[in-house]
Amino acid sequence: MIGRIVEVATDGVHLSVSRGFMVVSQDHQKVGQVALDDIAALIVHGHGASYTANLSARLAERGAPMVICGSDHNPIALLWPLNGHYEQGKRMQAQAEAGQRLKNRLWRDLIKAKIIAQANALDACGGRGGAVRLLAGRVRTGDPDNREAEAARRYWRLILGPKFRRDRAAGGVNGILNYGYMVLRAATARSILAAGLHPSLSIHHQSRGSALRLADDLMEPFRPFVDTIAWRLLDNGVCDLDASVKANLVAVTTLDLLGPRGVSPLQVCLDRLAISLAQVYMGDADVLELPGPAMALTSATLPP
C-alpha cells in the first residue's frame, strides 16, 4: 500500500501517538487520527501546531520524514530519520564523492524527462506539445544551453495562458502550484531517505536555503503532473487554495504513470528513481529509472 502524505494546516493543533495512531487534538479534544504505518510523510505548516517527541521518533522508525513549512507552503526544515537503509553510509559516501561529469549527465537526463513530461502535459490539456517536445532532444550534458528555461517559457504560456507568470510569492494559481510542489517535494524526500541517500547532497540545485536540494532535482520530471492538476482546477474556475483543492493536489502521488515497468503510481516511480540514483552512485547501474515518453497524461488519469 502507498503511504499517505499527511498535512497539518490547522492552527493550534497538537499531534501525539496512541496505540499505533497519530492523534490530532485541539483544545484537548481529539479531532482525528491516522495510522502511523499509513504515513509516508508528515507536512506541518499550521502556526502554533505542536507535536510530541514520541511522534517524531515513531515516524522516524518508519522512515517517514516530518517537513516543516513556512507561510508560502515551501519547506523550511526537515526532521530526518537517522535509522536508514543498512547501506546508507556507503551510499552517502558514494553520493558525496560523485564527480561533476556524472552529475552533469544525470542532470541532462532529468531535464530531458522533465521537458518530455511538459510536452505530454500540454497534449493532455488540449494544447500543442510538439514544439516543447523537440527541445528535449537538444539538451546537452549539464544543460549548458539552458534548454530547461527555454522550454519553461514556452510551456507556461501554453498551459496557463500568455499572462501567467510563475511567482512563488504570489497567490491564486501560483499558490496552488506552490502547495502541489510542496506535496511532491515531501514525497520525493521520503523516497530519497528510503534509498539511503542524503536529501541535501544535490545533483544540480545549489540553493543555500533548502535542506531538500536533491528532492528539488529528482522531482523535476514530475512537476508537470502538478501543473496539469492546477490547469484542470483553473479550467473549472477554481483558483483559491481550499481544502478540496489541497485534496486534489495530495492525490498527485497516487496518479498512475506509464513507465519502463508498465503502469505504476507516481510514488512508486519516485521510489524507483531514487533507488536507481543510489545504484548509479554505487556503480551498480548506468542510468536513472525514469518514466519514458509514453507517460502521457489523459483526462481519465486526473483526480476528480
Q: Is residue 83 in a domain?
A: no
Q: How many residues in total does the chain contain?
A: 304
Residues 109 and 16 in one domain: no
Domain span at 241: 88-301
Residue-by-residue pLDDT tens, the chain, 304 positions? 466 788 888 888 999 999 999 999 999 999 999 999 999 888 887 778 899 999 999 998 888 888 887 766 666 777 877 665 567 789 999 999 999 999 999 999 999 999 999 999 999 888 788 999 999 999 999 999 999 999 999 999 999 988 888 887 788 899 999 999 989 998 898 899 888 899 889 999 886 556 789 999 999 999 999 999 999 898 888 888 888 898 889 888 888 898 778 888 899 999 999 999 999 999 999 999 997 543 444 443 444 4
- Residue 37's closest CA among 19, 52, 10, 54? 19
Residue 259 covered by a domain: yes
We report the CATH number of the domain holding residue 285 as 1.20.120.920
Residues 93 and 60 in one domain: no
73 within a domain of the structure (yes/no): no
Residues 167 and 249 in one domain: yes
Is the Cβ–Cβ distance between 90 and 282 less than 8 Å? yes
CA distance 276 to 53: 33
Shared domain check, 20 and 98 = no
User: Does 266 reside within a domain?
Assistant: yes
The CATH number given to whatever domain includes residue 9 is: 3.100.10.20
Q: Are residues 267 and 118 located together in one domain of the fold?
A: yes
Q: What is the pLDDT of residue 291?
A: 74
Domain assignment of residue 76, yes or no: no
Same domain, 239 and 165: yes
Q: Are residues 163 and 236 located together in one domain of the fold? A: yes
Is the residue at 291 inside a domain? yes
- Both 58 and 137 in one domain: the answer is no
Count of domains for the chain: 2
Last residue of a domain, one of 16, 49, 64: 64
Tell whether 107 and 205 lie within a shared domain: yes
- Among 88, 293, 298, CA closest to 193: 88
Query: Do 93 and 128 fall into the same domain?
Result: yes
Rounded Cα gap, residues 34 and 50, in angstroms? 16
